[in-house]
Structure 1
């Protein structure tokens, strides 16, 4: 007897369509993510992965379809809307500023301040303390959070971006090609970060071209081609070899 769902999914995107002029970029795509679930979205360039994510984070509007968040219909029209819900994205360029410190990158655009008299100043100490706590939780081996990000390895930079998502208590973290151009060590580190997010009951959408990396951490695989979802498979229903064969014919 199948186990009944006791709670609505964290995220449900239903019948999502997007046109760019005459180009039908997304054709009725459905996506569902549960808390603590890693869903890998796989497909070649032009499959619609990036368009789907841009809609989810509020960068571009959908033309048709519905988004539900924790069972309630959600209107996502801006990045602020998605962040208020608890959605954070980490992009393949790592979205960090090399000349700023680790702590300043974590709080980039949302800096902590303190009031002294009629003025407000950056609360550097508090940002440093909270960044240290975050990096320790992630097992991020950084000598000091005062160091500039340019001195961090590729894996550590991704860790900084993921720390930012954790600080803002993201319920869903989107990772867009997070291991592109990373060393083997950096790749392993990022995959470990994903496992930690899952253990913290944070939902993860992983956009990846690398089947091996996706298979090592994902619970479910969505295959996209030419704006359509062509497969939605739980991990226990497919081997990595079969998944690779499916991707070849997309």
Structure 2
């Protein structure tokens, strides 16, 4: 099965600064590719390349087998790549249905009588959320009144509705509690089951392992590992992401030093000893 998106040895430089070097990944329909790494690992740069914000400097970037150099997010969207950023880019005081169609509002009427088709937007928003299994009673409520998890779910449903083939999610569970994170991961899996190829950017290996099919690990802008799920256990994925030997060295350095028996040439008695 050919990949929806394929990056091969992709690099990005800002002057003399290496932001990304030699990164490869594939995104297939009906699968979730998780990109893991700590802050500064290069995850944000990778997102910007896939989303069309930045052009790569080396390597190849293919969409459905065609090599591309995207020039804008609109170009990426036209090719079926939708990106949901951590800040979500919503207007908090606008209703849910208005945010759902933000920038792509349907209209009715002609000439001076042309106006937004509010009824269609309300009905479509309600139906699309329901189709994704999102039970939202009132699409007229301001989206800012929803929880972080609910807002993420609305963004995912919006991408599915507007025909995305690839959905890129930037740390969707980063600011959420355990329960809300579980809700978001449920809808990430629903997008996968709808046939989308999903790129999940995260620093949480536990969340990644729950839903991921492939794992790409980044460290300081370079590849630190690439694994299919059957090839790696959660413990090993966590160890690799945490730095493995580096973490063991840090643990050794932080071990509590034994308390000396003699301080200033005098014997220190244990509590309870002496007269």
- Would you call these one fold, judging by a TM-score over 0.5? yes
How many aligned positions are there? Answer: 244
Runs of 4+ in 1 over 4 A off after TM superposition: none
| d(CA) in 2 for partners of 1:117, 1:233 | 56
Secondary structure of the equivalent of 2:21?
A: strand
Match of 1:163 in 2: 157
Matches within 5 A, 1:1-250: 7-249=1-243
Asked if 2 retains the 8 angstrom alpha-carbon contact of 1:176 and 1:206, the reply is yes
Asked if 2 retains the 8 angstrom alpha-carbon contact of 1:95 and 1:161, the reply is no
Secondary structure of the equivalent of 1:89?
A: strand
TM-score by length of 2: 0.85
RMSD: 1.3
| d(CA) in 1 for partners of 2:164, 2:117 | 22
| d(CA) in 1 for partners of 2:44, 2:178 | 25
Asked if 2 retains the 8 angstrom alpha-carbon contact of 1:177 and 1:208, the reply is yes
Asked if 1 retains the 8 angstrom alpha-carbon contact of 2:6 and 2:25, the reply is yes
Larger radius of gyration: 2
Asked if 2 retains the 8 angstrom alpha-carbon contact of 1:154 and 1:183, the reply is no
Secondary structure of the equivalent of 2:109?
A: strand
Shift of 1:230: 1.8
| d(CA) in 1 for partners of 2:240, 2:60 | 28
Shift of 1:107: 0.8
Secondary structure of the equivalent of 2:114?
A: strand
Unaligned runs of 5+ in 2: 245-275
Asked if 2 retains the 8 angstrom alpha-carbon contact of 1:37 and 1:219, the reply is yes
| d(CA) in 2 for partners of 1:15, 1:248 | 23
Per-residue CA deviation, residues 193-237 of structure 1 (Å, 9 max, x unaligned), is 011111111000001011111110000110011111121101111
Secondary structure of the equivalent of 2:89?
A: coil
| d(CA) in 2 for partners of 1:48, 1:218 | 19
Asked if 1 retains the 8 angstrom alpha-carbon contact of 2:56 and 2:69, the reply is no
| d(CA) in 1 for partners of 2:15, 2:234 | 37
| d(CA) in 2 for partners of 1:202, 1:112 | 24
Asked if 2 retains the 8 angstrom alpha-carbon contact of 1:75 and 1:81, the reply is no
| d(CA) in 1 for partners of 2:117, 2:60 | 40
Shift of 1:119: 4.0
| d(CA) in 1 for partners of 2:114, 2:71 | 31
Per-residue CA deviation, residues 25-46 of structure 1 (Å, 9 max, x unaligned), is 1112111111111010001111
